[in-house]
Amino acid sequence: MFPSSTSNSEENPPGWAGIWPFFWQIIIFLSPFILIGLALEFALWKTGDLWSPQYALNHQQRSTKESLYGPRFFSDQFNIYKLSGIRYRHPSILSIGSSRVMQIRDRMFHPLKNEFYNGGGLLRNAFDLEAFAVMILGEELPLPQVLIVGIDPWWLRTNYGKTTWLHDSDERFSFAGHIEAFRQILKKDAFKKAFAATSAFESPHFRYEAIGTSARIEGTGFRKDGSSLYPPNVFLEYVDSPIYRDRESPPIINRIQMTKREFSLPATIDEKRVRMIIDALSLIKNKGVEVYAFMPPFSTEAYDALEDSPALNKWWNYYKHEFPKLLESHDISVIPVSHPAQYELDDTYMFDGWHPSEVYIAHLVKKLIENAPHSSFLKNVLLEDLTLTIKNAAIPLAFNLPGTITETSSN
Amino acid sequence: MAFNSLVFAVFLLLVFLLYWNLPNKPLGIRNAFLLLASYIFYGWWDWHFLGLILINSTVDFLIGRSLHQAQSNRARKIFLGISLTTNLGILGFFKYYDFFIVSTMEMLHAIGLQANFHTLAIILPVGISFYTFQTLSYTIDIYRGKITPTRDPIAYFAFVSFFPQLVAGPIERASHLLPQFFEKKHFNREQAKDGLRQILWGLFKKTVIADNLAPYVDKIFSNYETYPAPMLLLGMLYFSVQIYCDFSGYSDMAIGTARLFGFDLKRNFAYPYFSRDIGEFWRRWHISLSTWFRDYVYIPLGGSRTRTTLQHFSNILLTFTVSGFWHGANWTFVMWGLLNGLYYLPPSIRGPHQHQTEVVALGRLFPTPLEFFQICRTFVLISFAWILFRATSFPHAIGFITHIGTSSWLDPLRHTKGLWNVLLIFVIDWVQRDKQHPLEITTLPRYARWGIYYMISLLILFVGKTGHVPFIYFQF
């Protein structure tokens, strides 16, 4: 019924002599893939995207000037980069959490600025916090004196994240990771950017030393202190037109109103995850660390939408009222969730519905230091200096503008 | 070490190079090398389970010899009994122990009795169902006098653990594969090239078609309550194509890999979704398992040569139900098998001489309206049964099916991108349905062939799912 496709009985001489012509044909067939692959690998190495996060971090930290790390063609493996950063810097003041704490900067802690590191982006859910606590307790990570933990409301929800990514390995060592990078780089615009990045060694506008295509072309990435720099074009855009824009896609207000993604239904509290967070923070605190639970702010627009959403109301209120009380009952200090209006600011101090600017977050850090107990390590920070930094901020989104931006604005 | 991983590609290259550079004489050297390679391949998952293959192989090798030498019928039966008990005992313990414990507790609970037995949370050794059936067929065939046992333990052990087909088949018979370990092998370039083509095609089906449909299937099946009826039917269609491309893709890669070493494995799939009735489907789907159940379960039960039609029907239903249970320790598989058995009853009435075997619409571009209707009917029935196969539990399956009947039919379709995958595989399969595999295109000029190979390779590289997505049948 189904004839065998074993074709003729042509036999070849044994050993290499027999299989070499076969092999030769395969090599000829594969040669275009091999050549293109090698060229792309070389380009990725030149841009810095191919550097392992540890290697890039070591290079960045050893640099004598400010340096920006922003790869584009491998997915954002903040976990490896930030864990390496914590180990390298051995900070006394460490902030961790999602991208919503990434704007806390070393300059806010003068004269302890060298004692600070921002691990923002390291934690995405309650499982990550638990894994982080295990690493701290197991001495896989150095113990800080002060730990500021950004806790997002969705960490308390059922079904938000199922595992931790803190133990993920570097995808630069996986074949699939490279295939994914090739797929991205071969897209039209990306190819142009990668090509330009092979010969650009400084970020645009701020002119930092730059590692990775995003850092070299868009000027975005992580500074040496672990804080994140938004693309300078965002600041330029603000200078041209100083209004609030929600730069997330889809905008946070839409996600809240349409109950999508982080705000999807059913928005129920997962007691197990709440317990996990409390336990993790308590265990770290018991090691003698000052722990501050930091509830990152929302834009006034997003905050109001959360207040007005009947579907999300129960979860939101728990996060806003009961959860802080629970933390305080475990002797953990809380910086409550806020919105700019509470600090006499407006939404232009937000990059989008849930990412505060460094100026806004400086207000929150100031409040945190003010409220810290007298014995706190944070009391060594010069509040006057921080107040001055806030006061002298160039725009609501940033303390400083790069020279080119100033020139643009003055023009 | 899965076929769709880089580590396997490296392993295959090394084994291939070393194998063909080993001397052809004595034969044992190459067989010993294949055995070693197969054990490394299997041990890559978990070396602890190598012990099970060793036990199965040793028992059946010794039993095979003893069976052949036994003088009395009673002794032969005892030896066969030992083989069956050992093989099925190991399989039963590792695959079904927890299932029986849980099912017994549930049954006792249903009649008002409280029982608290402990489950062992046993990890299922990969491929155990496949190699157990392979070794069983060896002893049963010796018992039946169909084959004589081998005296060469290395060849026998290599036959049981031959790495291309060790973890998910095709389930080979000793009469077909074992003699190939005693042949002097010379490298055959055409055979090796055809093997590579079949590997390429299998990889395409797995990474481009099956793995890209998998996320849609997972979404639709795990949240079926939130989807309207047309989406559930789409999920059913996607799963039908996913499981076909996943499993037949694996079989293609297994057959192709074996051909690189000069071995011919049984064909396992023959364009099953172009079958005109259920009987034909089961002669084209997972052929090595279907024929195993036919030869070692259905025929010993009496097959179709029974005194009453009822007995014939019960043989069919029993064979299909056991076949369903072979797939996994879950009532969903049992019910899936039973449903297929029920499907099989009407065509079985026509008798064996009525079975469709020839390629549908051979020599024509399109099928006749009748053939088209028959193909669609068979596909719908089979796809419906796949719901039971894919569901995580029986209530899940019932919920899914009920929801098709009760939810809205007016909501717009989403996740329709996957339809391109469905269309692509159906068109290619249809055009090439008279071939062993669709890349059997040796009559085309070289530039056309290479153009097709490049196109498929590019699709794998740029559209195929990256990262390791396990084969569905590894869980069996």
Has residue A357 been placed in a domain? yes
Cα-based angle A103, A106, A109 (whole degrees, multiple of 5):
110
The verdict on residue A11 lying in a domain is no
Q: B125 vs A107, B42, B99, B289, CA distance in Å? A: 56, 10, 16, 19
The answer to whether residues A356 and A304 belong to one domain is yes
A4 located within any domain: no
**Which residues are bridge partners to A292 per DSSP?**
A148, A333
**Residue A187: closest C-alpha in chain B:** B462
The residue segments making up the domain with residue A290 are 78-169+243-410
Distance CA A15, CA B293 (A): 41
pLDDT greater than 60 at residue B122: yes
Same domain, A163 and A266: yes
Residue B285 has pLDDT above 70, yes or no: yes
Nearest to B172 by CA among B295, B273, B69: B295
Tokens read off for B446: 């070289």
Chain A nearest CA to B251, separation (Å): 15
Of A242, A259, A291, the residue that ends a domain is A242
Three-state secondary-structure class, residue A148: strand
- Across A17-100, the runs of DSSP E, i.e. the strands, are 67-69, 93-97
Instruction: Taking residues B97-101, report their average pLDDT.
Output: 81
Region of poorest pLDDT, from A69-78, A276-285, B282-291, B382-391: A69-78
CATH classification at residue A112: 3.40.50.1110
A296 and A375 fall within a common domain: yes
Domain boundaries along the sequence of chain B: 6-186, 190-276+356-475
Quick one: which of A269, A266, A257, A264 has its CA closest to A322?
A269
Task: Clarify whether residues A189 and A235 are in a common domain.
Answer: yes
Distance from CA of A179 to the nearest CA of B (A): 7
- Chain B residues with CB-CB distance to A181 below 8 A: none
**Strand order across the A67-69 sheet:** A209-211, A67-69, A221-222, A228-229
**Within-domain flag for A115:** yes
A104 and A227 within one domain? no
Model confidence at B442: pLDDT above 90: no
Q: What is the pLDDT of residue B347?
A: 78
Most confidently modeled range among A219-228, B14-23, B297-306, B404-413: A219-228
Q: Let me know if residue A6 belongs to a domain.
A: no
pLDDT of residue A3: 34
Residue B467 has pLDDT above 80, yes or no: no
> Is B222 an 8 Å CB contact of chain A?
no
Res B225 pLDDT > 50: yes
Do residues A272 and A222 share a domain?
no
Contact A12, B188 (CB under 8 A): yes
Q: Does A167 touch chain B (CB under 8 A)?
A: no
Q: Which residues of B touch A19 (CB under 8 A)?
A: 16-17, 20, 187, 192
A225 and A351 in one domain? no
Number of domains in chain A: 2
Residue of A nearest to B19 (CA): A15
> Of B85-99, B125-139, B257-271, B358-372, which one has max mean pLDDT?
B257-271
User: With contacts defined as CB-CB under 8 Å, which chain B residues touch A176?
Assistant: 466-468
Q: Which residue of B has its CA nearest to A6?
A: B191
Tell me the mean pLDDT per 10 residues along chain A, length 411: 38 66 91 93 92 92 92 82 95 97 96 96 96 95 97 93 86 84 84 83 89 93 96 94 94 94 91 96 96 97 96 95 96 96 96 97 96 95 95 95 49 29
Most confident of A76-90, A315-329, B159-173, B431-445: A315-329
CA pair distance B317, B341, nearest whole angstrom: 5
Please tell me the distance from the alpha carbon of residue A31 to that of residue A37, in angstroms, as a whole number.
10
pLDDT digits (tens, 9 = 90+) for B40-69: 999 988 888 899 899 999 999 999 999 988
Query: Is residue A181 domain-shared with residue A153, that is, in the same domain?
Result: no
Which 3 state secondary structure label does DSSP give A236?
A: helix
Positive or negative CA dihedral for A113, A116, A120, A126?
Answer: negative
B396 tagged catalytic: no
Instruction: Compare all CA atoms of chain B with the CA of A171 and give the residue at the minimum distance.
Output: B467
What's the gap between Cα B353 and its chain centre?
A: 26
Residues A48 and A66 in one domain: yes
Q: Of A219, A242, A265, at which residue does a domain stop? A: A242
Query: CA B357, CA A373: separation in Å to the nearest integer?
Result: 85
Q: Domain boundary residue among A242, A265, A297?
A: A242
Residues B466, A179: C-beta atoms closer than 8 Å: yes
Please tell me the distance from the alpha carbon of residue B242 to that of residue B237, in angstroms, as a whole number: 9
* A279 located within any domain: yes
| Residue A78 Cα, gap to closest chain B Cα (Å) | 19
Any residues with CB less than 8 A from the CB of B106 and at least 6 apart, and which?
Answer: none
The rounded percent of chain B whose pLDDT value lies above 70 is 97
Residue A310 touches partner B, C-beta closer than 8 Å:
no
Report residue A295 CA to chain centroid gap.
16
Which of B466, B468, B469 to mutate to probe the A interface, most A CBs <10 Å?
B466
pLDDT per residue as tens digits for the range B305-362:
888 888 999 999 999 999 999 998 889 999 999 999 999 988 777 665 456 668 888 8
Assess whether A188 and A319 both reside in one domain.
no
Q: How confident is the model at residue B38 (pLDDT cuts 50, 70, 90)?
A: very high
Query: Which of 442-471 (B) contact A at CB < 8 A?
Result: 442, 450, 453-454, 457, 461-462, 466-468
Task: Look at residue A201 in the predicted model and tell me its pLDDT.
Answer: 84
Question: Which residue out of B48, B186, B286, B327 is catalytically annotated?
Answer: B327
**Cα angle: A57, vertex A59, A60; to 5 degrees:** 65
Residues A64 and A153 in one domain: no
Q: Residues of A175-209 as b/e, b for ≥16 C-beta within 10 angstroms?
A: bbbbbbbbebbeeeebeebbeebbeeebbbbbbbb
Q: What is the mean pLDDT of chain B?
A: 90
Name chain A contacts of B191, Cβ cutoff 8 Å: 6-7
Asked if A19 lies within 8 A of B187 by C-beta distance, the reply is: yes
Do A67 and A181 share a domain, yes or no?
yes
Whole-number pLDDT of residue B354: 54
Supply the ipTM of this predicted assembly. 0.81
